[in-house]
Amino acid sequence: MSTDVPRLAAEMLGSVPFAQTLGIEFVEVTAPDSSGAPRVVVRLPDSSATRNHVGGPHAGALFTLGETASGAVVLAVFGQLFDRAVPLAVRAEIGYRRLAMGAVRATARLGRPVGEVLSELDAGLRPEFPVLVEIGTEDGETTTELTVLWTLKPLSR
C-alpha distances (whole Å) from 35 to each of 4, 39, 54, 138, 139 are: 19, 11, 39, 26, 27
The predicted-structure confidence for 32-90, as pLDDT tens digits, reads as follows 777 777 889 999 999 999 999 999 999 999 999 999 999 999 999 999 999 999 999 99
The predicted-structure confidence for 100-126, as pLDDT tens digits, reads as follows 999 999 999 999 999 999 999 999 999
What does pTM read for this prediction? 0.92
User: 5-154 is classed in which CATH architecture?
Assistant: Roll (3.10)
Q: Are 106 and 42 in contact (CB under 8 A)?
A: yes
